[in-house]
Amino acid sequence: GENVEQHPSTLSVQEGDSAVIKCTYSDSASNYFPWYKQELGKGPQLIIDIRSNVGEKKDQRIAVTLNKTAKHFSLHITETQPEDSAVYFCAALTGNQFYFGTGTSLTVIP
Amino acid sequence: DVKVTQSSRYLVKRTGEKVFLECVQDMDHENMFWYRQDPGLGLRLIYFSYDVKMKEKGDIPEGYSVSREKKERFSLILESASTNQTSMYLCAITWGAPQTGTEAFFGQGTRLTVV
């Protein structure tokens, strides 16, 4: 089955700096890659996603890039703010099932 | 908006108790999933269901069972709770959005502590 790896597991940045989280996947049949943000005590919320026919997608301060050849995709957050502090999960969809990374705990230091 | 509701935010149960975690969705979706979330391990799939009375084992089904008697409700059952089942439990649904394809939505999670 699919295997999704996510790095780093923890990330601290100064407010205003950029943060990058990277994921790799193993199954070339995976065709949809969402990113979730999970705040303390809450369920994951979809923040951005990308499908396999697109290389990059941007939504205000967040962007996602996909390299199908290398089987990796990344989340980029620019101009980070304290409210960006949370756990971020990547995922890959293969068939009807989602496979998740192990999460990155992002801390934005004011 | 898609709404996935888990019946409890926090639960404390005793070892050996039978525990029911309920998940309800309001959009007539077929696909429902139960995950547990533990630090450093991410989300691990326990059971899923693609239709009423249908269930499939995920990666870690041992010690759990599920029930799907109605389309909108998917219950996770711990037959005899143990301390190693202390975790955050997340219910999710997936659906094929007409414009954008398959997406997943999560409930708010149930933090279960077994003492």
SS (H, E, C) chain B: CCCEEECCCEEEECCCCCEEEEEEECCCCCEEEEEEEECCCEEEEEEEECCCCCCEECCCCCCEEEEEEECCEEEEEECCCCHHHCEEEEEEEEEEECCCEEEEEECCCEEEEEC
Which residues in chain A have Cβ-Cβ distances shorter than 8 Å to B48?
97
Tens digit of each residue's pLDDT (9 = 90 or more) over A80-95: 999 999 999 999 988 8
Gap between the Cα atoms of B12 and B113, Å rounded: 5
> In A1-110, where does DSSP find H-type helix?
none
Residue of A nearest to B4 (CA): A43
Gap between the Cα atoms of A26 and B37, Å rounded: 22
Say which DSSP state A42 is in: S
Residue A1: what pLDDT? 77
Say which DSSP state A64 is in: E
- Give the gyration radius of chain B's Cα atoms: 14
Is pLDDT of A66 > 60?
Answer: yes
Instruction: Profile chain B (115 residues) by mean pLDDT over runs of 10 residues.
Output: 87 97 86 92 92 91 96 95 97 75 86 97
Size of interface A-B (CB pairs under 8 A): 51
Per CB distance under 8 Å, which residues of B are interface residues toward A?
Answer: 4, 6, 9, 31, 33, 35, 40-43, 45, 48, 50, 90, 92, 94, 100-109, 111
Residue A87: what pLDDT? 96
Query: Going by C-beta distance under 8 Å and a sequence separation of 6 or more, which residues neighbour residue A106?
Result: A10, A11, A12, A13, A19, A21, A77, A80, A84, A85, A86, A87, A88
Residue A2: what pLDDT? 85
Which residues in chain A have Cβ-Cβ distances shorter than 8 Å to B111?
41
Tens digit of each residue's pLDDT (9 = 90 or more) over B47-66: 999 889 889 999 999 999 99
In the predicted model, what is the mean pLDDT of chain A? Answer: 94
Residue B53: what pLDDT? 87
